[in-house]
Structure 1
Amino acid sequence: MRAGLDCKFLALVVVLSTVVRDGDVLCGADPTDGFVQVPLTEWNFELQKPYDKPLDQRYSYHDGVRRLWVYADDKPHDPSSMTKPRTEIRIRGLDYSSGVWQFEGYGFVPNGTSGVSILQIHGASHGATTFMLRIYNGDLKYYVSDLVDINDYDKWMRFNLIHNVDGGKVTLFIDGIKKFEANDHGPGDLYFKCGVYAQANASYYMESRWKDIKIFKAHD
């Protein structure tokens, strides 16, 4: 009788660790199960920062931690741009337009940073972006209105952002827990970005920190 129960328990564990086709993850599985890690070099981490500032005045990389900060009265990243200030990492060389892709990284937002995008998927058929994760007074939101998580200042969090292009879905996990899912904004030249990018009602000083950034692609 005990052996039968053990077999059933083992079968349940196997089922819960299985990844569903098209990039959907079952409860109990790790978000990266069924994905293959794509090799990255430092070249893949393209920095965008106020065009008139030296990089070391808006970015540091020490002991594996990438710290990015910007001020609300900073210049945009390019003299011809009319966008708001940013210091962001753009994952270069891994643009995609199909398949199932995933960004993983550990992020930290210090108290006081608000009204800023910290993680995004750039590119879409409709609009400039497919996904934006913003922080407002310590709460994470999908763009402006959809609440994703609360009380997220001053702690390291594991972010797994999955984009199923063919299925038209974006899914966000925080610390291994599914927190949000939405339709994407259509296909395009797509890539991941993280850091700080000022939005409406941004705080004067904005900062986020990132470490252990990885990119994954689902098995074909």
Structure 2
Amino acid sequence: MQVFGATTIMLRVYSAKLTVYRSPTVLENVYNRWFKVNVIHDVGASNVKVYIDGVQRYDGSGAGGNNHYFKFGVHAEDGAFHRVESRWRQIRVLRKN
């Protein structure tokens, strides 16, 4: 999943491990199980927090910008398996005014 707007954050899964973009730091092992992801993007403070199953796993800087949008799905790269799958449910995007 990504929050675009100068790519504020990107969560990626490789070898069943969830990471932030190209970071080697593993947030969670996510193979073959449902898990809950909450992302809090504070645009004014240029901060992003990621929670996995209610536990904060990441706190980092945003990338600035004033126009952001949310995106999720599967994006294969060279060397990807012939079958990749991503399932999502109960997606909500909330905005604090």
TM-score, L = length of structure 1:
0.41
Q: Are residue 198 (structure 1) and residue 80 (structure 2) matched?
A: no
Where does 1:59-208 land on structure 2 (aligned, <5 Å)? 119-124=1-6, 129-199=7-77, 201-208=79-86
Secondary structure of 2:87's partner? strand
| Structure holding more strand per residue | 1
| Structure holding more helix per residue | 1
> Which residue identity is paired with 2:65?
P
Secondary structure of 2:51's partner? strand
Asked which structure has the greater RCO (Cα within 8 Å, sep 6+), the reply is: 1
In 1: Cα distance, 2:51 partner to 2:58 partner: 7
Map Cα deviations across residues 177-196 of structure 1 (whole Å, 9 max, x no partner).
10111101111421011111
In 2: Cα distance, 1:159 partner to 1:122 partner: 17
Q: Runs of 5+ in structure 1 lacking a partner?
A: 1-118
- Give the alignment's Cα RMSD to 1 decimal: 1.5
Conserved in 2, the CA contact under 8 Å of 1:139 and 1:147?
no
Conserved in 2, the CA contact under 8 Å of 1:123 and 1:188?
yes
Larger Rg: 1
Structure 1 residue 145: deviation in Å?
A: 1.8
Change (3 A) 1:200 1:164: farther
Report the count of equivalent residues. Answer: 97
TM-score, L = length of structure 2:
0.88
Identity %, equivalent residues: 38
Question: Structure 1 residue runs of 4+, over 3 Å off?
Answer: none
